[in-house]
Amino acid sequence: MRNSIKIILVIILLVITTEAKDYTKQKNVQIFINKMVKQHHFKRAYLTKLFKSVKFQRGALGMFNPAYRKKPKKGTKIKHYPKHGSWDRYEKILLGGTRVAKGVEYMHNNRKIFQKVYKKYGVEPEYITAIIGVESYYGYNRGKFPVFDVLTTLAFEKNRRAKYFRYELKHFLLLSKREKFNPKDVKGSYAGAIGLGQFMPSAYKPFAVDFNRDGKRSMQTTADAIAGIANYFKKNGWKKHKPVAVRVSYQGNRFNTKKTGYIHKYSRVHLKGIVPKSGKWIYNGKVRLIKLDRYKYDELWYGAKNFFVITRYNHSSYYAMAIHQLAQKIKAGYKKKYH
């Protein structure tokens, strides 16, 4: 869960710098420390020591402030994408390569945990597997950025989401206090997301689960990560055995007659001429129209309530559709290989 940030198709070099900076000299950091001491009972000396020497994260900051992005060398060709085909490109990144095959093996290797989690939360294993596959490539890519340094840099340097990152920094420090770990020891994404499911720190308290009963709620361990994602889905309204999405037909090659996206809901009686391509899709609730822009045409889908639940993990229709399609491919691959 990368704090609702859409996947960026433009390649930006993320350099993890080692430039040390004393943030205790900044007025806004002093105010932050005072609040943490007064409201959350942190020791001032402890926080001062933490903020005294922070590795300034220029690469991470460049994702939110263009001034810090590394400029391409003179003569470098910049790739310009065509007007259409955004889904084709997105699909290639998230559904291509070995992601399906590795998802099948991940679900098989952890089948006992998935069975227990499904029994408790009612979230189908293939969707949890797909989340872990997209967010951390099944645990192989959990991020190499020092989370405390990243969040401090993003919280107190000029960028469009500084307020949000101050909120996440607060929750990260509270998390380190609850779970008794050194905040300087944790690695994560360029935005401070942690673990197999890439939870942002603020998501831990309401959603993380100590499923392996070791006394800690950690998204770094397989059992806790699987259960944490399932709990996130369930608390956001996931219903087991209910459909997620189905491709629909319409007249023409480009769809512009209705507003599309997960925020717009329609009763199907008002969508004449738009019908599921699969006759097996049984769903009585309102639907979202999800448009996938391909090079030569628009692909249109109905999104059910469970589709909307996936967008709570990442506020992007493309992200939710990638999770759905990856989950279905993993499910089909699993049945073919193990049944």
Q: List, for residues 166-182, the tens digit of each pLDDT value.
A: 999 999 999 999 999 99
Q: Are 205 and 181 contacting, i.e. CB atoms less than 8 angstroms apart?
A: no
**Active-site pick, 135, 157, 179, 299:** 135
Burial class (CB in 10 A: 0-12, 13-18, 19+), 270: exposed
Any idea where the domains of the chain sit in the sequence?
20-73+143-193, 245-338
Q: Mean of the pLDDT values across residues 187-200?
A: 96
How far apart are the C-alpha atoms of 230 and 202, rounded to whole Å? 17
Q: Residue 307, Cβ neighbours under 10 Å: how many?
A: 23
CA distances from 60 to 142, 157, 189, 259 (A): 15, 11, 9, 34
pLDDT at residue 87 tops 60: yes
Angle formed at CA 168 by CA 162 and CA 171, multiple of 5 degrees = 145
Kindly report whether the global pTM for this prediction surpasses the value 0.85. Answer: yes
**How much of the chain, in percent, has pLDDT values that exceed 90?**
88
**How much of the chain, in percent, has pLDDT values that exceed 70?**
94
Task: Name 33's Cβ contacts closer than 8 Å, sequence gap at least 6.
Answer: 24, 42, 44, 47, 48, 51
Residues 20-73+143-193: name the CATH superfamily.
Bacterial muramidase (1.10.8.350)
Burial call 224-250: b when 16+ CB within 10 Å, e when fewer: bbbbbbbbbbbebebeeeebbbbebeb
Residue 12: per-residue pLDDT: 40
| Residue in the structure block whose two tokens are 């279905």 | 328
How far apart are the C-alpha atoms of 313 and 320, rounded to whole Å? 8
Write down the architecture of domain 245-338 according to CATH.
Orthogonal Bundle (1.10)
How far apart are the C-alpha atoms of 123 and 68, rounded to whole Å? 41
157 belongs to the catalytic site: no
Query: pLDDT tens for residues 199-258?
Result: 999 999 999 999 999 999 999 999 999 999 999 999 999 999 999 999 999 999 999 999
Q: Quick one: pLDDT band at residue 1, thresholds 50, 70, 90? A: low
Query: pLDDT tens for residues 12-69?
Result: 444 444 589 999 999 999 999 999 999 999 999 999 999 999 999 999 999 999 988 8
How far apart are the C-alpha atoms of 304 and 299, rounded to whole Å? 16
